[in-house]
Amino acid sequence: SLASAARCRLRLYVAGLAASSTLAITNVTDICEQEMGGQCDLEVIDIYQQPELAQRDQILAIPTLVKTWPLPMRSVIGDLSQRQRVLTGLGILGRR
């Protein structure tokens, strides 16, 4: 549907309960709410639970946040605490 096409799709790769991973989960949830009006679908992948995805999706740094939709796919690394770098890196305008 049109609505779902407009929704942004994000995938966050974390590693267990490491500090930067848990912080990244909090930060991305806030970004979805505050910068994108909640219009985004977030998937969190723990590479300890699914190690094969680290290779399949070419993950090196943890955390890594990937915007899979809308195209072009973009990704950023780090605990997402520097919000402007997250928005710029993913090519998301955010709340103006």
Partner 1 sequence: PGLRKAATGIPGLDEITGGGLPAGRTTLVCGTAGSGKTLLSLQFLVYGASALGEPGVFISFEERPEDLVVNVASLGVDLAALVAEHQIYLDHVEAGLDQMEPTGSYDLEGLFVRLGYAIDQIGAKRVVLDTLEVLFQGLRDSTVVRGELRRLFRWLSDRGITAMVTAEAGATTLTRYGIEEYVSDCVLSLHQDLDSGISTRRLRVVKYRGSQHGSNECPFLIDANGVALFAITSLSLD
Amino acid identity of 8? C
Residue from 11, 35, 66, 79 binding partner 1 (CB under 8 A)? 79
Amino acid identity of 36? M
- Least distance to partner 1, CB of residue 3, Å: 28
Choose between 40 and 76: whose C-beta lies nearer to partner 1: 76
Q: Is residue 66 within the footprint of partner 1 (CB under 8 A)?
A: no
Cα–Cα distances in angstroms (integers) from residue 6 to residues 3, 12, 55, 57, 95, in the given order: 5, 19, 29, 24, 16
Q: Is residue 13 within the footprint of partner 1 (CB under 8 A)?
A: yes
